[in-house]
Structure formats: structure tokens, C-alpha cells
Structure 1
Amino acid sequence: MTPPARLRACVLAFALAAGMAAPAFAQKGINGNELHTLSAQELGATIADYRQLGVKWVRFDFDWSVIEPTAGRFAFERYDQVIDKLAQAEIQVLGLIAYTPSWANGGRPGKYHPPQNPARFAQFAARLAGRYANKGVHAWEIWNEPNLGQFWGNAPDAAAYTALLKLTYTAIKKADPKAFVVSAGLAQPATTATSVDSLTFLTAMYRNGAQGYFDALGNHPYTSPRIPGEWMAYNWRKMSATSPSVLSIMKQYGDANKKIWITEFGAPTGGKSPWGTVISEAQQATMVERTLAEAAAVPWAGPVFWYNYRDFCPYKPDADSECFYGLTRVDGSRKPAFEKFRTSP
């Protein structure tokens, strides 16, 4: 057998020996962080496509800096509209709570800084949980990629993030006892002056008391140009098949029964990337198919949230590759990956 086949065979053998039921296919999710910016017509068309794709979950940003730009003044209307439309379509929401208005981050430029007072963030999260529980929103992800300096004021700090997580988890559960809390999806950088490897960061979270303060672990195991199932798809493999792995660390700290929610995964089909992640549209289609199949084959994977539904920019060879992760192009035309996503269980 090839190494990936051996890995899958070992997982299946372990599951059967342990008396586990055959795992169900992963629930298909998609990132919809731009939904609150769309017109009513655009929102309706996008959600119609979500339904055609078989999307069961949408990961949607509740950006504190947008909702409460001035302390005590809230702008919920566009968010309410999105949640109402998703509820009508019977699509579940994973609410990503993240980012900080300047009044709460010490006046620093930009929103990608932790709050000076984590209790204020927790208070905001509780307000969200209480407001949207009666609309069927019970799943919340706490921050985005805090081990990457880009999203934590250029100075990732597992202890500080864990303190934020603990306060926020407690506040959300008080506001909505049915709530399900996912820890921040972890990025996959090497450890540098402004980033921390995900396994190192996760271990530090546990050492600072994270166990008991999340219901599932968030992860962003991007592998492009490699495809999950390939032996060289390291970020995917290190969830379960490296030593240590995400799962081995979770087991070490008593969280073996929690699932990993893959809250971002995808690949760009154009533009320039300093990391060599750009692939062809045909390769992206294969990646969609293999990713969903690989996640469905293991008992530890929760929903997989594809990043992204639509390209952000018209195609230009020298544009940032971040523009081109969509299943559709910016004009709405469908890439081959759209059909592969639609037909995957």
C-alpha cells in the first residue's frame, strides 16, 4: 500500500477494534465572511447556491470592530438579515467572533489586535450568543488564527489567548446553555518572531488551562499545492499522523473525545503566492473531492468549511493569490471545483 492507504487502513482497523461505528461523511461547510456586505439580491443568490452545493454550515464573521465601532453603539441590522436568511434556508451557522475596535485595543491602528480587557470581548460574545440563540445560532468560534502575528498584534501569546477563551466560553455558556464553543482555528506557520507553530501553541494553550473551555478544536490545515491523502500534505497529516500530532496532544490533556473542526481549508487558482500555493482549477476540483473524502473517513473530524465560495477579484496574473480561493469566479461563473463540491456527500 502507499503510505496514505496504510494510514487510512490503520485508522479503520483501530476504529473497528475499538468497536466504533463507521464514521459518517463530514458535513459540508463554507466560509461566508463577506455575507453582511452583500445586497439583498446578492445575498439571496449566494444562499441559493449554498443550497445547491449541499452546504450544511456557514462560518460567518461577527466582527466586533464592525458591530460595535463605538463603545455601546451596535450595528446589528445587516447581521440579523444574514442570519434570518440562513435560517430560512436551514443552514447552520458557526459564528466567528473576532477582532477589536480601536476603542478596545488601546487605540492601535487596525483591528487585528487582542483587546486590552478580555472581559469586554467576553461581554460582547455573550451579547451575540443571547441575541442569536432564538434564531438557532448556537455554535461559536473564538478568534481567528491567534498563533499568527497578523491576527494578534504581531505577538502571538498562547497564555493571553487562553485567558480570552476561558472568559468567553464561560460568558457564552451563561448566555446560551445550548452553545457549542470551538477554539480558534489555528494557522500552520513555523515558529518565528511573529508566529508560533500550531502544535507548540496548542500545547501552551493546554498548559495554561484551556482544557474544559472549548467543545471542539478549530484548525486550518492548508496543504496547497499538496492534496490531503498525499504523503507530503504535512499540515493535514499533523492532525493525526505525526508525533506529536494535534490528536496526540488532545489525548494527552484529556480531550481525546473532542473533534477537530476544520474551519478553513482551500487553495487559490490564480495570482501570485510567495508560498507556492497556487494550483490549477482542475487541481482545485480534485482537492475539494479528496478533502471531503479524507475528512469523512476518520472519526475525529467535524465539519469542513471550504474557503471560499467566490473569488474576491477579477483575474490578473500578478494579483494576490488571496483573491482566488473561490469555487466560483468573481463574475459568478463556476470553476470545476463547484461541481465536485456539489456532488461530494
Structure 2
Amino acid sequence: MRKAIAFAMALVIGFMNVPAANAATFPSKTVPEGVGVNIRFTGAPSTDLDMIRDAGIKYIRRDLHWHNVERTRGSYNWTPYDQLVDGAAARGIKVVYILSYNNTLYGAPDIMYGIRTQEQKTAFANYAKAAAQRYRGKGVLFELWNEPNSTTFWKPIQNSTEYADFVKAVVPAIRQGDPNASIIGPALSWADPNWHESVFSKGILPLIDAVSIHPYDKNQLPERWLNTYPYNHTKMRELIQKYNPNNPNMPIIASEWGYSVTHPFVNGNQQAQANYAARTQLINMSLGIPLTVWFDFKNHDTGTSEESNYGLVTSSNVKKPSYNAMQQLTQALNGLQFIKRQSSSSSDYLMEFSNGSKTIVAAWTTGSTHNVTIGGQSVSISQTPRYIQVSGGTNPVATAPNVPSALGVTSVTKGATTGSYYINLAWTDNSSNETGFLVQQSINSTSNFQTLASIGANTTTYASNIGATPNPGDFYYYRVIAVSGTTQSQPSNVTNTQMGTPNAPSNLTINQTKTSSGNYIVTLNWSDNSGIETGHRIYQSNSATTGFQEVKTVGENQSSTTIDLGTNPAAGTYYYQVTAYAAMGESTPTNTVNTQISAPVVPVPTAPSNMSVDRVTVGATSGQVYVYVSWQDNSNNETGFELYQSINSTDNFQRIKTPSANTTTYGINLGKNPASGTYYYKIAAVNNYGKSQDSNIANTQIGQVSPPPPAPQPIPTAPSSLTSLVGKDITGNNAVILNWQDNSNDEDGFNIYVSSSATSGFNKLATLAANQNIVVHILNSLSNNTTLYYLIKAFNSSGESGSTNTTSVNIQ
């Protein structure tokens, strides 16, 4: 079982019913197209990548760590992952990127916590969309998390509903980034039918393109995946048919499977690990599984733990027997496809592979070494697979792949650093059995096509590097042929492009209109005189000869566009030109055209009316006097109002306030003691073009304002911690000393209460002044063995506080 990677330091939507894209692509069933390995490095280390290539491995898989890509909110750094994709592609290797894990920037306690909050789902979806956009067309497969049924990778506890909600939030974002992205999941640890059924029942299968699984069981042989129901491929296929009836044959991918040298069935034997490495691949090939990823390429370190010993090579890149076994498999079966399992005992596995002209049987047993008959010859088989070439065998039907179509030049670009020009091609792959494509090129004619490149199956794009100095005017013609083994399709349609600077457009005309919403629209039309432009640039200036600035770009083969100047463009003359541009340069501009924008006539606002004083109030605690006025707004183009006030006459109005547009009420604060008299008010509406007439005048009488009564004094805080002590005064009388804690700073004094009962009958004994905390009660005559109870309360003009605790004394 895959373990969490230890880091040296702590590093860091509503569901849309988006179906899986039809353009998802997976490896063909021809060996070794579906052989993969898990890696832990990024960048492009040549030693590692060369060893992977030399083993015949075609896919590498690793985490595309969200927390490494996005270390600052909204900012992504893809550099080491770009280097890996490019370095692998240079060796004919494709990448499976695991979209994982959480990010502490968005509230996760650590990165292994499951995606739960809406903020985390949105941020993860944005990262996933950006990844899909970045690696679009590069053959990258995207896997949704790693082993979410493990609390190691989905803390604090795994949950199939949470994972399904995560898938529903992320898949639509990936499809936005690349509608043709290949998406796999749920990448569960071992073939757990219950967890698979739980998450499948929540509707994730129609969203993804293939089911990924990790069929680990360190206590079982790899053949369990073939034989032991329900922990096997058969059960998995039944669940897919149940929960995805519209696509019951959707691919199953073993995106991680391995045996550590420490596992019980390996028991430190590196040759046993090598046997299982080959057998996992062969078993999955026999099941039609298009991709099997062995975990791991390299030992994690030199330690003796389980996690340290999964590799095909040691941590210092020394080949282990498992590397040799993988290389032997890919070389022996290169170009062949699985045909059938030949008849044999249940413990023998005779897997027939062929391409029609060559047949090889991969043979092994889970029992002891013995002889079997293969192709009429007696062959010794053991637990180590061997590859027996036989004559005859079952020939696969040699069917030529379908013809690719819709070949076109999508763009011509120039390398930022190399200066080389690239003609970018795209086509439609109409075949399901091709093993690759031939891209052919001919220059300045269609009679001299030469094969430019041989590329892998399921590829639909290619960038043709024509160097840094192509001849201006040269035509580059292209066609694509699908290949399956020794058979080929007919060529696709021919597409072409011409290098050079495009011809200038001409006959530019202009028309100006105004929409019902008041927007000024400039419409430009021109003649497109070039067939090689990438697009057209629109330039604008307020001068007929200088100062032209690009304001818009439109695509190739366009001959018109519109420019929206908004509802209030600056008055003046607007001049326009159009050019055509391509990778090698930009044409001269068209003729210049212009249009006149006059200053719009905007009326001043209509005067408000029905000005009135609604009420006058005085703040209960502040004593502030407020006059509330209202009016009727009769304009739809004011930017605000000006409110005027005059006291005791209508001849001295002063602007006092500027209420905002569309308001019809306002409260005016006159302060605590405004002057007595008659207060007059009026209002006007204003905009950028002037001020309306004044409204009618309203008034109110302001008299002498009495200040509000003071707030009542609060009752003091109760004293506490009352204690008592019995003694004698100088004449020998009994004396009780009472002491307490004064908790208030606003009492007028204290009342002392005494009773012969602890709960009732308390009578006021004495009243003391404020700020006291001790008193002596002299007892002149009192019977022996008498118990007295005391309590104390603070008081002021608002009343008495609560009482202290009750204290008691016994007089002997």
C-alpha cells in the first residue's frame, strides 16, 4: 500500500452535470503503450528519464502537488512540472498527473486533509482548471486525488460522500480548462468493493473517463486480481455496469500497483519482486486494462522499510531484477497485442500475444516448476514469466485504421528564445486501433510529401518546426496518416499555410450608430487580401497621421468588427486603421477613416417638488435636535441634490448638505441648543451640466430646547466577603466585629441587618456612611448561648444592592 511521503518541512461549486468528454484518450493495447511507472522526481533528470525510456515504459505518474504549485493565493508556479512533461515527451513518454492534495493557504490543518469547505473546493477547482489549460494537447492524464479511502490521504477520516462532492466540484473546472482532458479516478487503495460501490452510487462515473484502482494486496499474489471474487476485475466491471449503464465498458486503469521487497509474498527476494512486476502487467493486459503503473521506479532511500523498497532500481539507480523483468517484457512483446489465455491448469498462465505475423506466449505458473506444451513443444515454466515464440497461433484481424480528418493549421508561432517558427497542426482521430500517426510535409507543391514525424497513438496535434529563417512566400503543405502495425490508413485531407508577411487589407469603411441604451457603436468593414494572416489589428487615434494605438484584435479571415465607445465618449474626431499580421510580420495599414462624436446635449435635472418638514426630534440621550425633511424626486439624470437652509427669513439660504442621487429624505442635525426661530428649507437637483430650479420652501419653528433629564443612578454593586468575630470591649461587654469588601464606588452608605434566624426576620441594625468596610456591634445584655446572624447591603438614591453572604456568631 502506498504510504505518505515524509516532507522535510511543513509545506505547504455547485455540481454541474458535465458528462465525460468523448475525446478522452488512453493507451492502445499494443505492448508497451500501456506500461507505466510511478516516480517521485520533477524536472527532467536525464539519467532517470533515460532509464525509464530504455525499459520500454511509456507512462510516468506522480503528484501535481497543489501546495507546491500555489504557494501564494492565486499565483501558480508550474516550472518543475513543465520540465517533467517536456523531458518525458522528448523520450516518447507521457505523464499521469495526480491532482492532489490540500493547501494550508485555504484553511487546511495540513495538506493531507480532505477537501471539505466551499473555499477549498473553489480554490482546488481553479488550480485544476489552470492545470488542464496548461497541459492541454500534451497527452497528460489527470487523476483525481490518490487513495481517498485511506485516512493517510484524506484526513481526519475517509468519507465517500466528501470525495464524490469533490469530484463534482472539480471535473467541470477541468472540462472548462480542456474539454478533451482525460480524467480518471477514484484511485482507491486495493480492490475494496464496498467503498467502490459507495462512491460509484453517488454519481461520479458519468463524469470521469476511466476508473482508476490500486489493486494492492501485500498478502496475496497478483493473480488474485484475476481470480478472487469479489476482490477482482470481474466485480469492478459489474459495479461499472450497474452505476454507469450508458458506458458499461468504460476503461479500468491500474494507476498504482506494486510489491515491496519487504512484503510477505516477496520476503526479501528481489527475483520474486521482479516476477510480480512482470505478472501484474501481463495480467492486466489479458484483462484489456489499457494502462498499468508499477509503484515505484526507484527505491525511496537505502532503508529497510516497506516504503523504501518498491523500486525497479535502487535509490542510486542500480538496476534491480525487477527493472530487467520489465525491460524483458516490453522488448519480447513489442508491437504485439493480447489474444487469449491458452488452455492450461488453473495455476498455469499461458498468455498469447500476436500481431498477425508473430506470436509469443508469455508463460508462468504460481505452482512449482514443471513442463507444459506450448506450440507443440514441451516448455519448462516457473514463477518467472518466460516468452516463447511459436509458429501459427491466433492472428488478429489486420484492419487498417480509419482516415484522420479535419486536418488544419491552427496557428503559426515563433519561439520566444529559439526564434524558430512553428506551424501548429490539429486533426480528428477517427480510429480506435491505430498505433501512431505519420505527419507528412511538402513545400510549394502537393507532389513531394515526406514523412516529417512518427508520433504516438491518440495524438491529435503536432507542431512542425520550420526553422528560424523560412523563405517568405513558401507554401507548406501537410497531411496525416494513421498507422496500425504494418497497415496504414489513406492520407487525411491536405492543409497548407504560406509563410511571410500578409498582404495589407484595403477599402476600410466606417459607420457610426447609437443603440437604444445610448452606446455609441463604430462599425468597420474592410477587404481581406491575405490568406496567411493570423488575425487583424484595429488601431485608433484622435489624429489623422500620428498616435495610433491598438484597441482590438480579430481573427483570421475577418473583414468587419465593431467598437463600443460607451454612452459618453469624449467629443472629437476618431480615426481608424486596420492591419493584417502573422508570425513573420505585420502588413502596412489600410486607408484611414474617421467619424465625428459631438458633445451630447444632456439637460439639467427637473426640479424636485413637495418639499416638507416631516418632524422635529430631540435625541433621548444626546440632546441633539434633528429636522427631517422630504421631497419628490422628479428627475432621472441627477447626480445628487443641494439642500439649503435659512433662519428667520427666506433671503439668506445657505447650502448645508448634498444628498446623493435618488434620495427623497434627509435628517438635519441642528446640535444641542439651536437658536430659536423659524427654519426654512428648499432643495435643488444637480448633474454635470447644471442645477435645476429650486423646490418649494418648507419651514418649521424651533423653540427653546430643554436638555433631557439625567439618566437615573444605577443601584450600587453588592458588598461581599462578610466575616464576623466575637470579642469584649473595655467594659467587658460582648462585641461583634463585622468586616466586608466594598465593591461599589457609587453607594451613599451601608445598611447593617441582624436576625436570630439564618433565613428570615432580618432587621436594620444601623446605617453607615459610604466607603466603610468594618463596624463593631456592642451587645449589652444577651442570654448565653445565643446565635446572631448578620448581612449588609449598599444603598444610594436608586435603592439597595443585593446582600452580602450571611455570617453568624454564638454568644456564650
Report the TM-score when normalising by structure 1.
0.80
> Is 1:229 matched with 2:223?
yes
- Given the superposition, is the C-alpha separation of residues 338 and 100 from structure 1 closer, same or farther in structure 2, using an over 3 Å criterion? same
1:333 aligns with 2:322: no
Other-structure match for 1:202: 196
Please show how residues 132-147 of structure 1 align to structure 2 within 5 Å: 132-134=135-137, 136-147=138-149
- How do residues 208-219 of structure 1 correspond to structure 2 at under 5 angstroms? 208-219=202-213
Distance 1:46 1:213, change over 3 A: same
The reply to whether residue 246 of structure 1 matches residue 236 of structure 2 is yes
> Shift of residue 139 of structure 1?
1.5
**Could you say if the C-alpha distance between residues 233 and 240 of structure 1 is closer, same or farther in structure 2, counting changes exceeding 3 Å?**
closer
Which amino acid in the other structure matches residue 231 of structure 2? K
Q: Any conservation in 1 of the 2:266–2:272 contact (CA below 8 Å)?
A: no
Indicate whether 1:322 and 2:294 are aligned.
no
Query: Unaligned regions of 5+ residues in structure 1, if any?
Result: 1-22, 189-196
| Secondary structure of 1:129 counterpart | helix
8 Å Cα contact 1:278-1:321 kept in structure 2: no
In structure 2, distance between residues paired with 1:86 and 1:157: 35
Cα distance between partner residues in 1 of 2:155 and 2:225: 34
Q: 1:52 aligns with which of 51, 54, 63?
A: 54
Residue aligning to 2:261: 269
**Alignment partner, residue 124 of structure 1:** 127
Q: Secondary structure at the match of 2:135?
A: helix
Q: Does 1:111 align with 2:112?
A: yes
- Give the counterpart letter for 2:85 in structure 1: I
Asked whether the 8 Å contact 2:215–2:257 carries over to 1, the reply is: yes
Who is 1:306 aligned against? Answer: 294
CA shift digits 1:5-49 (9 cap, x unpaired): xxxxxxxxxxxxxxxxxx6557100112x221x6x5xx1111100
Post-superposition Cα deviations, 1:224-260, rounded to whole Å, max 9, x if no partner, equal 343322589859x72324xxx1111111112421111
1:74 partnered with 2:45: no
Residue 191 of structure 1 is matched in structure 2 by none
Q: Structure 1 counterpart of 2:215, which letter?
A: P
Larger C-alpha radius of gyration, 1 or 2? Answer: 2
- Which residue pairs with 1:290 in the alignment? 279
Q: Is the 8 A contact 2:225 2:231 kept in 1?
A: no
State the distance in 1 between where 2:266 and 2:228 align.
14
Contact 1:227 1:233 in 2 (8 A): no
State the Cα distance separating 1:309 from its structure 2 match: 0.7
Give secondary structure in 2 for the equivalent of 1:252.
Answer: helix
Give the aligned partner of residue 92 of structure 2: 90
Inter-CA distance 313–231: structure 2 relative to 1 (3 Å threshold): closer
* Contact 2:225 2:233 (8 Å CA) reproduced: no
1:30 equivalenced with 2:30 (yes/no):
no
> Do 2:226 and 2:232's aligned partners in 1 also have CA atoms closer than 8 Å?
no
Against the structure 1 CA distance between its residues 94 and 231, is the aligned structure 2 distance closer, same or farther, given a 3 Å change threshold?
closer
Gap runs ≥5 in structure 2: 1-28, 331-812
Q: Which has the higher strand share?
A: 2
Distance, in Å, in 1 between the alignment partners of 2:116 and 2:73 is 13
The equivalent residue for 1:168 is 170
Whole-angstrom distance in 2 between the partners of 1:232 and 1:57: 23
1:226/1:232 contact within 8 Å kept: no
Aligned partner of 1:221: which letter? P
Q: CA deviation at 1:81?
A: 1.1
In 1, Cα distance between equivalents of 2:307 and 2:62: 18
Q: CA RMSD in A?
A: 2.4
Return the letter of the residue paired with 1:215: D
Matches of 1:24 and 1:256, distance apart in 2:
22
C-alpha distance in structure 2 between counterparts of 1:203 and 1:107, whole Å:
28
Work out whether residues 224 and 231 of structure 2, in 8 Å CA contact, stay in contact via their aligned partners in 1. Answer: no
CA distance 1:85–1:181, change in 2 (3 Å): same
Aligned residue for 1:133, secondary structure, equals coil
Asked whether the equivalents of residues 327 and 337 of structure 1 are also in contact (C-alpha less than 8 Å), the reply is yes
Whole-Å Cα distance in 1 between the matches of residues 71 and 86 of structure 2? 23
Tell me the distance in 1 between the aligned counterparts of 2:281 and 2:130: 34
The count of aligned residue pairs is: 298
Change (3 A) 1:110 1:168: closer
AA partner of residue 258 (structure 1): M
Rounded to whole Å, the distance in 2 between the matches of 1:234 and 1:322 is: 26
Identical-pair percentage: 23
Matches of 1:138 and 1:326, distance apart in 2:
23
CA 1:107–1:176: 2 relative to 1, 3 Å: closer
User: Which has more helix, going by share of residues?
Assistant: 1
State the TM-score, normalized to the length of structure 2: 0.35
Structure 1 residue 211, shift from structure 2 partner:
2.7
Shift of the 230–78 alpha-carbon distance from structure 1 to 2, 3 Å rule, reads closer
CA distance in 2, matches of 1:185, 1:66: 21
After superposition, the Cα gap between the structure-2 partners of 1:230 and 1:60, relative to the gap in structure 1 and judged at 3 Å, is: closer
Larger relative contact order (Cα-Cα within 8 Å, sequence gap ≥ 6): 1
**Alpha-carbon distance between aligned partners in 1 of 2:116 and 2:87, rounded to the nearest angstrom:** 31
Give the partner amino acid of 2:237. Answer: L
- The offset of 1:215, in angstroms, is 0.6
Distance in 2 between the 1:257 and 1:185 partners?
18
Residues 31 and 308 of structure 1 are in contact (CA less than 8 Å); yes or no, is this contact kept in structure 2? yes
Letter aligned with residue 196 of structure 2? L
Inter-partner Cα distance in structure 1 for 2:64 and 2:240 = 28
User: What amino acid is aligned across from residue 129 of structure 2 in structure 1?
Assistant: A
